[in-house]
Amino acid sequence: MGKLDDKVAVITGGGSGIGLAIARRFVEEGAKVVITGRRQETLNDALAIIGSRATAFRGDVSRRDDIERLYEQVGELHGRIDVLVANAGVIHPAPLESVTEEQYESQFDINVRGVFQTTQKALPLLNDGGAIVLVSSIAHFKALEGHCVYAATKAAVRSFARSWAHDLKHRGIRVNCLSPGPVMTPIIGKMGIPDESLEAFEKGLGEMIPLGRLGRPEELAAAALFLASDESSFITGIDLCADGGLGQI
């Protein structure tokens, strides 16, 4: 038996990186999975990897209409949600003096508004006793160069987990936060680092981490599975840091 047998899970940002790894692991554990993302080609590639127990819907979590359409389709397809993973996010690293209005708005629109709308609009479909996993980052408590706006958005996500764990306790819905450290995902390639400097950047970052390397998406998927399954049935409101010790030591 799988740890998520016959559960219905919705995973935003499920087309690549951590979201894709979570979707794959959830399917392996018996769940039916719905993934979202902004690019249809990426979603098609993800479905080819995940398999027939997954469905994809293209949409932008920062757009309320897209979220509402998503849940209309989920309702028609499955009639319920048992697990929600609010994973979609963006990062635009820049020092304080260089942050543009576009960079600021993009990160808050997707990382904060997107998480809020994703969760709020899911509630009518979310089963009592269900689980919500909000993907934050250790940046919410550890200062990292060039991450001031991103860190603020992830601090909001951490705060949401506390508040919503309290707000939804009467329905038995557990809300927890998952905070990754540096992980080998495509998002690193979108941080504006020149290709010729990427290997040195990853090596230097790995040397900062007590375990001596970047994390793997599959390791974050294992942590998400713990928070989504009955293995964590007496846990709500926590921040689970999967960071190789970077934010802990």
> Catalytic residue positions?
150
The model's pLDDT over 202-211, given as tens digits with 9 standing for 90+, comes to: 787 889 999 9
Position 124 pLDDT exceeds 80: yes
Whether 40 contacts 58, CB under 8 Å = yes
CATH T-level fold of 8-239: Rossmann fold (3.40.50)
Q: How confident is the model at residue 120 (pLDDT cuts 50, 70, 90)?
A: very high
Whether 145 contacts 201, CB under 8 Å = no
Token pair of 120, please? 């709020």
The predicted pLDDT at position 204 comes to 79
The predicted pLDDT at position 198 comes to 61
Q: How confident is the model at residue 192 (pLDDT cuts 50, 70, 90)?
A: low
For the question of whether the overall pTM of this predicted structure is more than 0.85, the answer is yes
Task: Tell me how far CA of residue 38 lies from CA of 63, 139, 168, 193, 240, in angstroms.
Answer: 11, 24, 29, 23, 27
Alpha carbons 127 and 123: distance in angstroms, whole number: 8
Q: Quote the mean pLDDT of the chain.
A: 95
Q: How confident is the model at residue 196 (pLDDT cuts 50, 70, 90)?
A: low
The model's pLDDT over 131-150, given as tens digits with 9 standing for 90+, comes to: 999 999 999 999 999 999 99
Position 187 pLDDT exceeds 90: no
The predicted pLDDT at position 205 comes to 84
Residue extents of the structural domains in the chain? 8-239
Choose among 182, 203, 151: nearest CA to 246: 182
Structure letter (DSSP) for residue 183 = B
The model's pLDDT over 52-71, given as tens digits with 9 standing for 90+, comes to: 999 999 999 999 999 999 99
Return the amino acid letter for 43. Answer: L
Choose among 241, 244, 249: nearest CA to 135: 241
Which segment of 20-34, 61-75, 153-167, 202-216 scores lowest on mean pLDDT? 202-216
Whether 34 contacts 87, CB under 8 Å = no
